[in-house]
Structure 1
Amino acid sequence: MHTAVFDIGKTNKKFSVFDENLSEIHREYTTLPETADEDGFPTEDLPLLTEWMRDTLRKAMTPGGFRVSRLNCSTYGASFVHVDAQGNPVAPLYNYLKPFPEPLAARFFDQVGGKEDFCVRTASPWLGMLNSGLQIYWLQAERPDAFARIRHSLHFPQYAAYLFSGLPQSEFTSIGCHTGLWDFTAGRYHDWVEGTGIGRLFPGTVPATGRTTALVNGQPVEVGAGIHDSSAALLPYLLSSPEPFLLLSTGTWNITFNPFSRDPLTPAELGKDCLNYMRVDGAPVKASRLFFGNEFNRQTRLMGEKFGKTEGNYHYTITFDEARYRRWSADPTPYFHLESLQYPDGSISSAPETRWDAFPTVEDAFHRLMIELMRLQKAAVLLAAGATPVRKLFVDGGFSQSDLFINLLRKDFPGAELVVSPSPLGSSLGAAMAVNSEDVARNYQFDLRRVSL
């Protein structure tokens, strides 16, 4: 029997099938065009995504195909789907990058006792719509007609699972994903959730390992509760490593996890985009975030235009060069103007404009870009580590396949054990583990490649 997993990222949508030993035996990707919300802001095309997910699973389960007995969904967080009594969405899946109105934010902080107290209690910096619970507060204030029609507000991973189970649920890894909903100091929803009346919109909470049997394409399938992708990426490492470690999960966001820290977050750490996530068991996980992949994509696109590399992902072919590293790492002055990479406290500085004329070749430009980005990455790893020495660092996700990224990590953390995932499976594998029995998950031997530093 097989386990099917949807892993829904902001850019790539992935469908995987695992065998009884949790080895991946099938994988397919797609990218879907965005649509726009009623304000013209780009966002996920929810009907198109829903159609793709249902069609993909139906094709996989056709006679002669995969014998799917379990299904789970991992998606990006900080997003809600609001459904009516018939289970139909009443509003778009609003983009977490959509600006949050400043007057509404000021009103909210007046209600909750101030910004700093709110951020400390919810273990997250103020991120606007990225504090996804505030999307509901915004909807209540700015879209009262749509708000009045909501029966359930489902975190995105739980909505993806709901498409197949028909069971509305809430789940800890989604609740704890910088939503502004959970009071980590009290171990429950923050007072504002009930005070504003939005608490009634959240279905009962289940663990990420929960599952329910549903009829899917005419077959009984155990459908998982859904899981936040970053927490899913962490799960295989928690089950595979008995000693303390950090995990650097890479992609659109590069997130460094420290599941062994128990120190409360300070206002200074929150200002550097340090925050708490949740493990599948509800325990907090200290993490630091960097919008690394988003800025990387923007810069490499501009770089390609400047150097006439407009076809394909040219940067995949550029490998680490020691001479270029020595040349470009010696200068502390920023060469690149960063557009989307900034801390909540505004302390990241970059060049007023990119100095393209300083680079004789695209290889030089790419090395210098990665050196500047990796300086920020090193700081983010150390922030998540806190007082804990960095002795073991797992690396997962898309950048784990980058020769230059890994070699620069080697330079930044001499003496540490760097353990690199051989393929970017983390979120999908974690979701598959969550929906399978504990014994299967614990007996799985996570195949990792060690890089001596």
Structure 2
Amino acid sequence: MNPIPVIAVFDVGKTNKKLFLFDENYKIVFERSARFMETVDEDGAACENLESLRLSIFDSLREVFRKKEFEVKAINFSTYGASFVYIDQNGTALAPLYNYLKAYPEALKQQFYDNYGGPLKFSSQTASPVLGSLNSGLQLYRIKYEKPELFEKVKYALHLPQYLSHLISGVACSDITSIGCHTGLWDFEKNEYHSWLKEENILGKLAPIKASDETFPACFPGNNYLVGTGLHDSSAALIPYLANFTEPFVLLSTGTWCITMNPFNHSPLTEEELQKDCLCYLHYKGKPVKASRLFAGYEHEQQEKRIIEHFNQDKSRYKDLELDMEIVSRLQERNKNTTTTVRRQKELSSSGFEFRDLNTFSSGAEAYHQLLIDMVNLQLESTNLVLKDTPVKRIFVDGGFSKNAIYMHLLAAVFPEIEVFAASMAQATAVGTALAIHQAWNRKALPTDLIELKYYSHARLV
């Protein structure tokens, strides 16, 4: 029997590191998962164990190459963003993989924004809200001023996906999906690197930009598989939708963060949008995607826990709870007649449910319905920031909330003019990473049945 042609995709998250083999129909034929203990940097701050990750990549590939039932045609990588690996002229990592959550020095941040037009102007130009170390360009700026000896030794600063690609291909490159996601590196007005990089003599530390669908031969003799450039995970997760749908849509990706991505909104970010945590990034074809973010998954987790503890219920009480129309109607009437208003920060940092007195609810189910009403109303405001003035007629919801029937019904109700679908797709990020280099390894046409959709009608609930 001939071996099955496959692509190997490494999907590297902060917690789980996964390897998938996909056949030419994008079916998973092999997978493995690993988790590593974090290490610490020179300041004692927790960070990724880069050496464990590097060794795991090679160990996993050795295991795959021993499997004679598969023929690896290509390898690609997707990882979390905002993380640089600093390599010397030999390709050796020079420093820890600093955590993007590491506190950024206030004085240095002040110095940076004073020099480059202030937070609002700079954020508008780079579509990057002020996020400290999450603006990976500012990590480079910090190294220049705090660790000048390290800065001098750096040949290239590679975002994590490109570093992993470099391990296998030997090619140092930059990728637009990593550059274009709240890094402070890209000038969206001029569609090029921001001028501050040249002024700070940092531009030369960034490897040449390669297209996201470009591939390179492996640097190990005797191998004939191709290696992709690597992708930022948020951009990779959008690729299956861009490949399967041509009519304008938005993708609401739900998890700890709920991110509304509109690939059909190319207007510049406004001051209001920046204040409400909107940003732009570049998808794998280099076009801007406007996105709004809510920390809604985290809020749901915390408030659900508060409800469960208050009503002394089982932890899984609301996992599969169905929509109760009577409860919704009762809450609507009560909210209409009450003088109490839900406190809401202008930055859309929470739905305001945290300020509700749980003693006013007759049951945990009633409180939970109110939580989701508040959250969906907040989501409406956030999603509308990137929806306005675009011809979008569909919202696809993936991730955790797509499986929550109450949330989905309520969401459909607040968007009566738009079709709302729960989208189900196994390993969207990994599939997108494989799709990005489809032509390089797959003899078949792009599949059109990757995403399973469930439609929710817009009953007038809220």
Same fold (TM over 0.5): yes
Q: Secondary structure at the match of 2:77?
A: strand
Q: Secondary structure at the match of 1:316?
A: coil
Partner residue, 1:378:
380
Structure index of larger Rg: 2
Is the 8 Å Cα contact of residues 248 and 391 (structure 2) preserved in structure 1?
A: no
Partner residue, 1:436:
438
> Is 278-287 or 288-297 further displaced after alignment?
288-297
Partner residue, 2:390:
388
Question: What are the within-5 Å matches in structure 2 for residues 272-311 of structure 1?
Answer: 272-300=276-304
Task: Give the counterpart of 2:423 among 418, 421, 424.
Answer: 421
Whole-angstrom CA distance in 2 between matches of 1:309 and 1:164? 51
- Deviations 1:401-435 (CA, angstroms, capped at 9, x unpaired): 33343233223222421233223432111100012
Offset at residue 193 of structure 1 (A): 0.5
Is the 8 Å Cα contact of residues 239 and 442 (structure 1) preserved in structure 2?
A: no
Partner residue, 1:34:
38
Partner residue, 2:51:
47
Whole-angstrom CA distance in 1 between matches of 2:139 and 2:162? 17
Distance 1:88 1:366, change over 3 A: farther
Whole-angstrom CA distance in 2 between matches of 1:386 and 1:271? 17
Whole-angstrom CA distance in 2 between matches of 1:277 and 1:175? 8
> Is 300-309 or 319-328 further displaced after alignment?
300-309
- Deviations 1:67-111 (CA, angstroms, capped at 9, x unpaired): 221111111212211122332322222222222222111111121
Give the gaps of 5 or more residues in structure 1. Answer: none
Partner residue, 2:64:
60
Whole-angstrom CA distance in 2 between matches of 1:63 and 1:261? 45
> Is 55-64 or 346-355 further displaced after alignment?
346-355
Task: Give the counterpart of 1:240 among 234, 240, 244.
Answer: 244
Is the 8 Å Cα contact of residues 3 and 68 (structure 1) preserved in structure 2?
A: yes
Is the 8 Å Cα contact of residues 400 and 421 (structure 1) preserved in structure 2?
A: yes
- Deviations 1:279-300 (CA, angstroms, capped at 9, x unpaired): 2121111111222334444555
Task: Give the counterpart of 1:258 among 256, 262, 274.
Answer: 262
Whole-angstrom CA distance in 1 between matches of 2:368 and 2:48? 31
Partner residue, 1:76:
80
- Deviations 1:201-245 (CA, angstroms, capped at 9, x unpaired): 111100110111105697432111001111111111112112111
Is the 8 Å Cα contact of residues 211 and 224 (structure 1) preserved in structure 2?
A: yes
- Deviations 1:258-287 (CA, angstroms, capped at 9, x unpaired): 111222111111111111111212111111
Whole-angstrom CA distance in 2 between matches of 1:412 and 1:226? 37
Is the 8 Å Cα contact of residues 394 and 419 (structure 1) preserved in structure 2?
A: yes
TM-score (ref. length: structure 2): 0.86
Distance 1:116 1:292, change over 3 A: same
Whole-angstrom CA distance in 1 between matches of 2:242 and 2:68? 36
Whole-angstrom CA distance in 2 between matches of 1:358 and 1:55? 57
Distance 1:59 1:443, change over 3 A: same
Whole-angstrom CA distance in 2 between matches of 1:296 and 1:144? 43
1:92 matched to 2:96? The reply is yes
Give the gaps of 5 or more residues in structure 2. Answer: 458-462
Offset at residue 200 of structure 1 (A): 1.2
* Identity within the alignment, %: 41
Partner residue, 1:316:
319
Distance 1:411 1:84, change over 3 A: same
1:145 matched to 2:149? The reply is yes
Question: What are the within-5 Å matches in structure 2 for residues 360-371 of structure 1?
Answer: 363-371=365-373
Task: Give the counterpart of 1:164 among 161, 168, 174.
Answer: 168
2:429 partner amino acid: S
Distance 1:449 1:47, change over 3 A: same
Is the 8 Å Cα contact of residues 69 and 220 (structure 1) preserved in structure 2?
A: yes
2:203 partner amino acid: G
Partner residue, 2:460:
none
Q: Secondary structure at the match of 2:157?
A: strand
Structural RMSD (CA) = 3.1
TM-score (ref. length: structure 1): 0.87
Q: Secondary structure at the match of 1:68?
A: strand
Q: Secondary structure at the match of 2:280?
A: strand
Q: Secondary structure at the match of 2:291?
A: strand
Whole-angstrom CA distance in 2 between matches of 1:25 and 1:416? 37
Partner residue, 1:107:
111
Partner residue, 1:401:
403
Distance 1:145 1:246, change over 3 A: same
Q: Secondary structure at the match of 2:240?
A: helix
Offset at residue 314 of structure 1 (A): 6.3
Question: What are the within-5 Å matches in structure 2 for residues 308-347 of structure 1?
Answer: 315-327=318-330, 331=335, 345=347
